[in-house]
Amino acid sequence: MGLPPLVEPAAELSVDEIRRYSRHLIIPDVGMDGQKRLKNAKVLAVGAGGLGSPALLYLAAAGVGTLGIIDFDTVDESNLQRQVIHGVSDVGTPKAESAARSIAEINPLVNVVIHNTALDRDNVKEIFSQYDLIVDGTDNFATRYMVNDAAVLLGKPYVWGSIYRFDGQASVFWEEHGPCYRCLYPEPPPPGMVPSCAEGGVLGVLCASIGSIQVNEAIKLITGIGEPLVGRLMVYDALEMEYRKIKVRKDPDCALCGDNPTVTDLLEDYEDFCGAVSVEAQEAITGSTITARELKDWQDSGKDVFLADVREPAEWEINRIPGAVLIPKGDILSGAALAQFPQDKQIVLHCKSGVRSAEALAALKAAGFKDAVHVQGGIVSWVNTVDPSLPSY
């Protein structure tokens, strides 16, 4: 169904704006009125990473008058494979500032507002209240649920996107006209069940495919044209080059937007709600965690260590800690690899950052390997504190 325009039109377009946006102006459905609405719109991009990069570039090129960028991260070399708003000279600089510079090159008529901070419970409502529309490009469940909850509580529509390896999803959530994110995903997945892009990878160009869909939806909402993805989930398979649409209905039992909501304000702790690691893993790592430096000291002292890398083979090819043996987490959790672990050596597990190794540690301890430990911070910590010559990813 079509929806009324989200934004009132600006008073006028300048001569420079008419020249710049002429290809929009000659589209009957957009025209002068639609472009004036774009000029008057205030859109916030949550994240200037994989999805935020193409979204911000095309929102700016389309003539959205005010673009907010919230991101507290800095540009890393591994970002450049997909985060096209940043360049080599931006490595080490805040992403929000790097993105603002790129936007200025594309369209200096856009007003850019930088929020170089982490989005959290204390600032999300205040920041969101300054904008008409939110474009969500976050890559973790805790922030996604917080974005959704704040948008619903403030009555704001938001365009959501998600990417992983060769698969992407996009939708529009607007409680006034359809379901919210909690209607689609009432509960977050179990900790460790869904790998992040940093763990599982993502095809760089997939960001452009989903990010451009998000911008398309934003333009439709702002100008009131077409049929937005409210109540529909767009699923994209890049390998099969297949798009599918799935209906998403408003859930009357939704904890946030249902008939009898139980969530009436922001949660106290979204990280706790989503769970960085399972309860079993949290119990397993208590008193059984060592640092990367401690592991190096053990190795240097000749301690008889069996070091298991629980990452995936593709990650193993990028970098590895000397002396490690590759045993993927899934093989440990299924029990298929338990026979590979010795009974007479100190078992040490590591992954990229410490989450997967914590889950694997819980499975090992349940199987009787009570003295096993894992490395806090994983190979990231090893690169940062022991061997910076290893490539990071």
The catalytic residues are: 197, 351
- Taking the C-alpha atoms of residue 72 and residue 118, their distance in angstroms, rounded to an integer, is 5
- DSSP symbol at 386: T
Partners of 325 in beta bridges: 308
- The three-state secondary structure class of 55 is helix
Name the nearest CA neighbour of 357 among 390, 312, 322, 314: 312
| Residue 220 contacts residue 228 (beta carbons within 8 Å) | yes
- Taking the C-alpha atoms of residue 179 and residue 288, their distance in angstroms, rounded to an integer, is 43
- Taking the C-alpha atoms of residue 70 and residue 68, their distance in angstroms, rounded to an integer, is 7
* Token representation of residue 149: 């909850």
Task: Give strand ranges (E) for the chain.
Answer: 42-46, 66-70, 111-115, 133-136, 158-164, 167-173, 232-237, 242-247, 289-290, 305-309, 324-326, 346-350, 373-375
- Taking the C-alpha atoms of residue 168 and residue 309, their distance in angstroms, rounded to an integer, is 29
* Token representation of residue 120: 């959290």
Give one DSSP letter per residue of 207-276, joined into a string.
HHHHHHHHHHHHHHHHHT-S---BTEEEEEETTTTEEEEEE----TT-TTTSSS-S--S--S-HHHHH-S
Partners of 232 in beta bridges: 247
* Three-state secondary structure string covering 258-269: CCCCCCCCCCCC
